Amino acid sequence: MKFFIDTADLTEIRDLAATGMVDGVTTNPTLVAKAGRDFIEALKEICALVPGPVSAEVTALDTAGMLREAEKLRAVAKNIAIKVPMTWDGLKACRTLANDGVMVNVTLCFSANQALLAAKAGAAFVSPFVGRLDDISQEGMELIADIRDIFDNYPALETEILVASVRHPAHVLEAARIGADVCTIPPNVLRQLIRHPLTDAGIAAFLADWEKSGQKI
C-alpha cells in the first residue's frame, strides 16, 4: 500500500520524506489555507521534495473553470495530480483530463456508486473520506471494502482507491487489510504508526544490558 502524506505543510513533508515512507502528497483547499503559503509556490516545493503524485485541487465548480485551473496546476510539475470534486462537472473535467494523459484524483467520495463513476471517468485515484463517514456514525472502512470488491470485478479498471480523511492508525491498518492502493495519512498519524511500548522497553533493556557488558562496537 502506498503512503501519501495529507498536508501542505512543507516542514512536515520535508521531515517525513526523509524517512523514505512518503510515496506522494495530497492537498486540498483547507490544508493549503492552513499552511499559509502561496499555493503555486508551495506546490513547486512539494513536487521537488516528493517525486510521487502530488494532488492539487481545483476550486472552480464548472468544468471549463476546472480545466482552466488544471492547466495552471499541471504547469507546476510533471507529478501533479489534479484533484476534482465528485460532481458531474468534476467527472466531465476528469474525463477530459484523463483523455489527455493527466492524473486525476476525484475527491469527496462517500459512496460506492460515486467511486464507480470516478473509475468510469478515467480517474487515476478516487478518494473516499472514511473519517467523515465515521463522524456521522457510518462505517467508513466498509465503504473501502465495498469499493475494493467492486473494482476487483473489473481487472481492466486502473483507478486506485486512495483512502482519505484518515483519523488514526486503525484506519491505516484496515485500509491495508482490505487492499486499498493508497492511504493518505496526516503527519501526526504517520508518526504514530511506529509507536509501541514494548519496542521502547526492549530498546531500553538491550542498551542497559549492553552498558553492563562494558563493550563498545
- Of 144, 33, 20, the closest CA to residue 9 belongs to 33
Cα end-to-end span (Å), the chain:
36
For the window 92-131, what string marks contact with ligand G3P as x by the rule CB under 6 A?
-------------------------------------x-x
Grid cell, residue 201, equals 522497553
Closer residue to ligand G3P (CB): 52 or 131: 131
Q: What's the alpha-carbon Rg for the chain, to the nearest Å?
A: 19
Please report whether residue 8 would count as binding ligand G3P according to CB under 6 A: no
Angle at 26 between CA 23 and CA 29, to 5 degrees: 165
Number of neighbouring beta carbons within 10 Å of residue 166: 23
Contacts with ligand G3P: how many residues (CB under 6 A)? Answer: 10
Using the minimum distance from each CB to ligand G3P, give the nearer residue, 110 or 207: 110
**Which of 28, 63, 96, 114 is close enough to bind ligand G3P by CB under 6 A?**
28
* Interacting residues toward ligand G3P by CB under 6 A: 6, 26, 28, 31, 129, 131-132, 164-165, 184
